[in-house]
A and B are shown apart, each in its own frame.
Chain A
Amino acid sequence: MPKLTTPISDEEIRSLKAGDTVYLNGIIVTGRDAAHKFMIEHFIKKPVQPDEQELYDDLKELLDGGVIYHCGPVVKTHDDGSYSFVAAGPTTSIREEVYQADVIRHFNLKGVIGKGGMGGNTLKACAEQPAVYLHAIGGAASYIAQSVKEVLGVYKLEFGVPEAMWVIRVEDFPVVVTMDSHGTSLHDTIQAQSKEVLVGLIS
């Protein structure tokens, strides 16, 4: 069972090819629309403000060699104030296409997890950085929640539970590399192949 553990090295990323299944381990951070917009507007396009310096430093450390997961989880709060993930399937990634490349470069991200794949800008950033796009199994919310072993903390809870940045520790989270660091997107390959078949079937 090929495993990948955060923080991930450049060599490990380069060894991955589109189509590979890997099991992810270690600490990752969730982030979707609000989180990406926030990181761009507050940290990347502008100098960091003093009252957000601490948050920035924390994220810098967590995301360096790390992974962002496009996920809006369902989270249970326990009586002692601790959290656990109840459902944690991936959300559609393409909405972050406008932000993702800059976030990958700025924070030295090694991976982005989501579903549906991403576009040319992200693919280019993956090749340069290097980084990979990892596709989780859409709809497998309960299964993935079970691979979230621990919720270590949360940032920006004011965005709401689904949009907040949850810091989680995962064990053997199954994902498929669909965009690698060599410029190959499985989504593009499959689309081209299926186009050929379609043309054959309707000509």
Chain B
Amino acid sequence: MDYKTLDLTDQFVELIRRAATQLPADMRQGLHQAKGNEAPGSAAEGALDTILLNVDIAEKNSTPICQDTGTPIFEVKYPVGVSTRKLADQIRAAAAAATKNNYLRPNAVDSLTGKNSGDNTGEDFPTMHFHEWDEDAIHVDLLLKGGGCENVSTQYKLPDGDLGAGRDLEGVRRVVLDAVYQAQGRGCGPAVLGVAIGGDRGSGYLKSKQQLFRQLDDTNPDPQLAALEERIFEEANQMGIGPMGFGGNTTALGVKIAAQHRLPASYFVSVAYMCWANRRASMDIQLGGEEVEVSYA
């Protein structure tokens, strides 16, 4: 197929619609399980019940799961020869079209004038990252990252004397638990926590957000990190903050950690706090044949 004529605007609109209106199966299952762990009749159980009903209604009516449709973050893998400049234009056109169809709320505000662009496009908006690969295909992951939970995302610089956190995995554990405590119910928990160890302030935050693309039940290939994920997950849930901060057994639905190289001088731990509405969707475009073949997940 001729890459020059490739136009994926409609496919990007459909990808956005799916992300905004259909909560991924693993997130639903996590919420279901969580509901079973809460005391019958408790505010925590009621909150999870309302959330699950809301998810069903949104899917049925093809309306946004949450009215804050967040920052759309696109991670695109593409083969040699595909123009990323054109793909970026198509993504922006798709964001505008999806806003018109009410899949997205107008969510891009000019920081100087305070004016909303009205169509989810603007300076560095939506967020996009392109990665070249060897396949004759395009793979796109999309995350809609809400604002309320973004406000409680945070970054620590180790060592941290107050928390007794040194530059090791024990230090990481301490600061991540502190982040969960600091957030309380303000990030619309139960949360998925994306954590990046190392990097600089910019790359660390990015890496922590990219962890939110992982399936809730996957296992970290690094056994040390896998063990740390498990431990923080259990300890976060011992904290009793619960859904919406109402108290209860479910404070986190998952903890996903990655490590990056860092400068000798710095040791950052970045924590991306994601609300229960962890809206992600992906699509695969096969470019081998005459026509493009699209599948969504």
Contacts and interface: CB of A to CB of B under 8 A. Distances in A.
Interface of A: 19-21, 72-74, 86-89, 92, 115-117, 135, 137-144, 146, 174, 176, 178, 186-187, 189-191, 193-195, 197-198, 201-203
B238 A186 contact: no
B58 A142 contact: yes
A139 B68 CA distance: 8
B235 A201 contact: yes
Given A115-B244, A116-B245, 19 more contacts: A21-B43, A73-B67, A86-B63, A116-B186, A117-B185, A135-B246, A137-B51, A137-B54, A139-B188, A141-B65, A142-B57, A187-B184, A187-B185, A187-B245, A190-B185, A197-B240, A198-B178, A198-B181, A201-B235
A142 B65 contact: yes
B239 interface: yes
B275 A138 contact: yes
Nearest to B146: A139
Interface in B152-173: 163-164, 173
Contacts of B65: 139, 141-142
Contacts of B54: 137, 139-144
A187 B43 CA distance: 13
Given A176-B244, A197-B240, A201-B177, A137 B63 contact: no
Contact of A190 (B102, B240, B275): B240
B241 A190 contact: yes
Given A86-B102, A198-B181, A176 B239 contact: no
Contact of B246 (A86, A143, A186): A186
A86 B21 CA distance: 13
Chain A interface mostly helix, strand, loop or mixed? Answer: mixed
21 contacts: A19-B43, A72-B67, A86-B63, A87-B66, A87-B105, A89-B68, A135-B246, A139-B54, A139-B65, A139-B275, A139-B276, A142-B54, A178-B246, A186-B247, A189-B247, A193-B247, A194-B184, A194-B239, A197-B238, A198-B178, A201-B238
Contacts of B102: 74, 86
A73 B64 CA distance: 12
Given A143-B57, A194-B181, A87 B244 contact: no
A85 B286 CA distance: 40
A88 B245 CA distance: 20
B47 A137 contact: yes
B51 A139 contact: yes
The 5 A-B residue pairs with the shortest CB-CB distance, nearest first, are A143-B54, A138-B188, A87-B67, A139-B66, A140-B54
Contacts of A141: 54, 64-67
B72 interface: no
Given A140-B50, A198-B178, A176 B184 contact: no
Contacts of B188: 115, 138-139
Interface string B247-270: 100000000000000000000000
B76 interface: no
B242 interface: yes
A138 to B, nearest CB: 4
Nearest to A190: B247
Interface in B44-95: 46-47, 50-51, 53-54, 57-58, 61, 63-68
